[in-house]
Amino acid sequence: MMVQATELWKRFGNCDALRGLNLAVPEGSAFALIGANGAGKTTVIKTLMNIMGPSRGSVSVLGVDSRNISPRELARIGYVSENQDMPARLTVIQYLNYLRPFYPTWDSELEQELLRQLRLPLDRKIRDLSHGMRIKLALACALPFRPKLLVLDEPFSGLDPLVRDEFMEGLLQQTGDMTVFISSHELAEIEGVATHIGFLDQGRLVFQESMSDLTGRVREVRVTLERPATIPGQMPREWLQVCATGNVVGFVDIQFSDENLQERVASSFRGVRSIDVQPIALRSIFTALSRAAQNGGLEP
């Protein structure tokens, strides 16, 4: 695994920001860690980057305990954060000139390609760049040395749609065999990128799986009945956001199976006329799971 967390805890005072986190990021994947603001995503990234140490448990990155990361490993890790510090007094080209000697694998042709693609003003001081330009500069600094692992911490926060599109275009064209670990609540931007996904809620990992498995097991279901619908007191735990309008009952099934849906619907409702099943967008999946987690309906 490119990143492996085992029983990871992080405490700040009396607050547990991470609670027994077990996380596995496969090599070559684009792993998206999603969750509401305050769920603990940035704490996970700061721990794996050794910006802060764990209270309990461990994290390995590139096969090395995060607390023992050396310059050798850091030279293979790219990092982009929404709050990334860069020397404000330097111009864009001065900062790139400063970074280049630290990385033996720096690809100058790729650097030039990224600068053209992201349309960065080379002679402008970093302090005079917009927030979007600073994020694009961080990407232009993280990719030319062709890292094995690229860590993106909320990279889309505060970016307008055009800048987000340019950022993602620059990233997607350079991924290759690089592993990407991204934390975000901007779900529309990661939907076409992520191959694997983990859902973090209040410091606990509710699930982690491939994107194809997740989108395959979650469906929006509408059941049309012969009479006005009433919702039974006991419903399958895997049915979320159950609601009734007239003679139609709708819900999100987070353990969908063609084989047993009809039987489960028939055991819950009488006079079933039809069952309609539709795929559901990642944002809607996230909303359903977040509300269920907040209401105590999901456990890690």
What is the tens place of the pLDDT at every residue in 114-161?
Answer: 898 888 999 999 999 998 899 889 989 999 999 999 999 887 766 677
Lowest mean pLDDT among 203-207, 248-252, 282-286: 282-286
Phi, psi of 111 (to 5 degrees): -55, -50
Predicted confidence at residue 239, as pLDDT, reads 93
**Sheet-wide strand order for 15-25:** 15-25, 3-12, 56-61, 64-65
Q: Which pair of structure tokens corresponds to residue 118?
A: 């992201």
Rounded mean pLDDT, 33-57: 91
Q: Please state, in angstroms and rounded to a whole number, the distance separating the CA atoms of residues 61 and 57.
A: 14
Q: Is 166 or 71 the better-scoring residue by pLDDT? A: 71
Asked if the model's pLDDT at residue 189 lies above 80, the reply is no
Lowest mean pLDDT among 171-180, 250-259, 281-290: 171-180
Tell me the per-residue pLDDT of 263-274, one tens digit each, with 9 for 90 and over.
899 999 999 999
Confidence of residue 173 (pLDDT cuts 50, 70, 90): low
| Residue 142 contacts residue 76 (beta carbons within 8 Å) | no
The CATH code for residues 219-279 is 3.30.70
Residue ranges covered by each domain of the chain: 3-212, 219-279
The contacts of residue 235 (CB under 8 Å, 6+ apart) are 242, 251, 268
Mean pLDDT, the chain, rounded, equals 89
Q: Please state, in angstroms and rounded to a whole number, the distance separating the CA atoms of residues 115 and 98.
A: 16
Q: Please report where in the chains the tokens 């085992």 appear, as a residue.
A: 6
Q: In sequence order, what E strands does the chain have?
A: 3-12, 15-25, 30-34, 56-61, 64-65, 77-81, 149-153, 179-184, 196-201, 204-210, 219-225, 239-245, 248-253, 272-279
Q: Which fold has domain 3-212?
A: Rossmann fold (3.40.50)
Query: CB-based burial of residue 296 (10 Å sphere; 0-12 exposed, 13-18 middle, 19+ buried)?
Result: exposed
Q: What is the pTM of this model?
A: 0.84
| Residue 295 contacts residue 228 (beta carbons within 8 Å) | no
**Which residues on neighbouring strands pair with residue 81, listed in sequence order?**
153
Rounded mean pLDDT, 69-94: 92
* Rama region for 129: left / alpha / beta (φ>0; ψ in -120 to 50; rest): beta
| Residue 194 contacts residue 30 (beta carbons within 8 Å) | yes
